[in-house]
């Protein structure tokens, strides 16, 4: 009997130690020594919107688009250039003139000439610049929409990772309670065995159940760290820093309801909005090629200060300035049918966008129907699992009391215990599944809000 007593003591001691380790591990995760940071779901989302690399890259792309627009439209401003030339004649050119009815030739010009030129040009009309002006706000709009799309993806990813982590933490609490119950069962069955009330198989079965519960507790505890790592990744949180997640269970339950009678509106989806901006840009491209036959008109002003001398040492002794101004007009007459083919190509590309819109609507509808079906199914499962949890707890308490009174065999206790922990785990999983499916539904319907930065 002393050997069995020692085994019992070891089983209970190990379960108590593992339970303590689990609590310590949870404490270290929730209260890391190098930081006092505690974040709710909203705070995690807010942090991600400021620090997540993909969002910041998208915001940089918006700035790049603005800079590109400024470059493309800079042609409307006056263009000022300074140029210069130096000419040295080894042999002066020959000129011809008439002297007393005879044609006479003579060397003309100056050996050294320096001509600095100030040139100012101003575009009056240019089809390409006109297109750049009309397209510029559309490019900015599209870049902002892409940024919003990235933010929506991050909000959904952070929320679902947060719920997944909470599910594991709640499962740890359930396994702790289960381990505590089973540890007591091991002790009770041992004493019943010693007293001759119960069979040794009851004690063995109690130990097996405890070992299984300890394994599940350890497995859930070990999975917390990688889930924190996943949450940090989608948040853009420094990997080596720690933080605690805090949450209000009552608030989460109050967030579950969703008005499923709302109608799907395609235009609320950010992907649909991006496609509409792309179509508007394509219309601008079509208009540009349609009006590419229009002339390019510009004005210019040149000021030249010419220096001439046969002696290089006296080259800058005298200046001979002059200036002139004028207009330039370029009208394309024949471009090898490039303009008409560009118009045709641009229209075909617009037709392609129309088909992409048809495909996108089909995809959005599929996302919506899948998301609302999952939400309704998970919501129903939550109600059933909540009822089952209450019934399983009541059943376990009754069966445990009946076993202690010797009315039912220990197998009934094992069955009731198994049903209880299954019901509790199913309830917690259903709770976070319905919250995650609500995120998917809101995303599918395009109603996830993006906080302005």
Which pLDDT tens digit goes with each residue over 203-260? 888 888 889 889 989 999 999 999 999 999 999 999 999 898 998 888 888 999 999 9
Comparing 71-75, 153-157, 228-232, 412-416, the range with the smallest average pLDDT is 412-416
> Taking CA 254 as the corner, what is the angle to CA 252 and CA 255, rounded to the nearest 5 degrees?
65
Q: What is the pLDDT of residue 186?
A: 84
Q: What is the pLDDT of residue 453?
A: 41
Which pLDDT tens digit goes with each residue over 57-103? 999 999 999 999 999 999 999 999 999 999 999 888 888 777 777 88
Q: Of 403, 392, 401, 402, which Cα lies nearest the Cα of 178?
A: 392
Q: What is the pLDDT of residue 198?
A: 66
Query: What is the token pair recorded at 450?
Result: 């993006």
Residue 158 Cα distances to 15, 19, 87, 302, 371, angstroms: 34, 30, 70, 62, 18
CATH of region 8-72+126-295+331-445: 1.20.1600.10
Residue 47 above 60 pLDDT?
A: yes
Domain 81-88+95-125+298-330, what architecture?
A: Single Sheet (2.20)
H-run or E-run covering 103? strand 102-107
Of 195 and 258, the one with more pLDDT? 258
Mean of the per-residue pLDDT values for the chain? 87
Contacts 24+ apart (CB under 8 A), 53-60: 53/236, 54/150, 54/153, 54/154, 55/147, 55/150, 55/151, 55/154, 55/236, 56/236, 58/143, 58/146, 58/147, 58/150, 58/151, 59/147, 59/453
Residue 28 above 70 pLDDT?
A: no
H-run or E-run covering 153? helix 127-194
State the alpha helices, DSSP H only, in 195-337: 200-222, 224-235, 249-254, 270-290
How far is it, in rounded angstroms, from Cα 30 to Cα 139? 45
Q: What is the pLDDT of residue 200?
A: 79
Give me the half-sphere count of Cα atoms (radius 13 Å) on the Cβ side of residue 317.
Answer: 9
**In which band, very low, low, confident or very high, does the pLDDT at 3 lie, cut at 50, 70 and 90?**
very low
Residues whose CB is less than 8 angstroms from the CB of residue 289 and which lie 6 or more positions away in sequence, other chains included: 339, 342, 343, 346
Of 300 and 7, the one with more pLDDT? 300
Q: Angle 200-222/224-235 helices, nearest 10 degrees?
A: 20
Q: Of 435, 447, 445, 441, which Cα lies nearest the Cα of 378?
A: 435
Q: What is the pLDDT of residue 178?
A: 87
Which pLDDT tens digit goes with each residue over 336-388? 999 999 999 999 999 999 999 999 999 999 999 999 999 999 999 999 999 99
Q: What is the pLDDT of residue 97?
A: 78
DSSP for 300-340?
Answer: EEEEEEEEEESSGGGTTS-EEEEEEEEEEEE-----TTHHH
**In which band, very low, low, confident or very high, does the pLDDT at 18 lie, cut at 50, 70 and 90?**
very low
Residues whose CB is less than 8 angstroms from the CB of residue 247 and which lie 6 or more positions away in sequence, other chains included: 40, 41, 166
Residues whose CB is less than 8 angstroms from the CB of residue 68 and which lie 6 or more positions away in sequence, other chains included: 139
Query: What is the token pair recorded at 276?
Result: 């509409």
Residue 364: CB atoms within 10 Å: 20
Name the 3-class secondary structure at 407.
Answer: coil
Domain boundaries, the chain: 8-72+126-295+331-445, 81-88+95-125+298-330
Mean predicted confidence (pLDDT) in 281-297: 94
- β-partners of residue 300 are 121, 326
Mean predicted confidence (pLDDT) in 39-62: 94
């Amino acid at each position: 009997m002393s050997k069995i007593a020692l085994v019992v003591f070891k089983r209970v001691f190990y379960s108590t130690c593992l339970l303590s380790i689990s609590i310590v591990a949870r404490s270290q995760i929730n209260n890391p020594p190098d930081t006092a940071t505690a974040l709710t779901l909203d705070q995690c989302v807010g942090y991600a919107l400021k620090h997540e690399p993909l969002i910041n890259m998208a915001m940089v792309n918006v700035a790049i688009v603005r800079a590109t627009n400024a470059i493309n439209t800079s042609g409307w401003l006056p263009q000022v250039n300074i140029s210069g030339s130096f000419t040295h004649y080894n042999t002066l050119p020959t000129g011809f003139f008439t002297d007393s009815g005879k044609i006479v030739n003579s060397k003309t010009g100056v050996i050294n000439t320096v001509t600095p030129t100030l040139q100012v040009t101003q575009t009056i009309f240019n089809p390409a610049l006109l297109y750049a002006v009309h397209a510029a706000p559309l490019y900015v709009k599209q870049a902002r929409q892409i940024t919003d799309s990235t933010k929506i993806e991050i909000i959904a990813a952070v929320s679902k990772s947060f719920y997944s982590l909470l599910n594991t933490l709640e499962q740890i609490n359930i396994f702790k309670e289960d381990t505590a119950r089973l540890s007591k069962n091991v002790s009770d069955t041992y004493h019943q065995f010693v007293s001759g009330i119960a069979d040794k198989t009851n004690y063995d079965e109690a130990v097996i159940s405890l070992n299984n519960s300890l394994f599940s507790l350890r497995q859930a505890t070990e999975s917390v760290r990688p889930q924190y790592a996943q949450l940090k990744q989608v948040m853009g949180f420094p990997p080596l820093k720690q933080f605690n997640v805090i949450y209000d269970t009552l608030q989460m339950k109050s967030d579950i309801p969703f008005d499923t009678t709302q109608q799907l509106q395609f235009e609320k989806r950010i992907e649909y909005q991006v496609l509409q901006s792309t179509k508007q840009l394509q219309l601008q491209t079509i208009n540009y090629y349609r009006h590419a036959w229009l002339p390019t008109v510009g004005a210019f002003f040149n000021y030249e200060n010419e220096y001439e001398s046969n002696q290089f040492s006296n080259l800058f002794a005298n200046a001979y300035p002059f200036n002139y101004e004028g207009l330039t007009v370029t009208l394309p007459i024949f471009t090898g049918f490039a303009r008409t083919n560009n118009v045709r190509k641009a229209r075909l590309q617009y037709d392609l966008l129309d088909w992409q819109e048809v495909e996108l609507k089909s995809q959005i509808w599929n996302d919506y129907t899948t998301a609302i079906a999952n939400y309704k199914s998970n919501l129903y499962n939550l109600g059933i699992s909540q009822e089952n949890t209450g019934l399983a707890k009541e059943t376990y308490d009754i069966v445990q009391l009946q076993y202690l009174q010797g009315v039912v065999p220990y197998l009934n206790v094992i069955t009731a215990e198994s049903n209880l922990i299954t019901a509790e785990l199913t309830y917690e999983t259903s709770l976070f599944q319905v919250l995650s499916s609500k995120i998917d539904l809101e995303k599918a319907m395009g109603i996830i809000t993006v906080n302005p930065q």
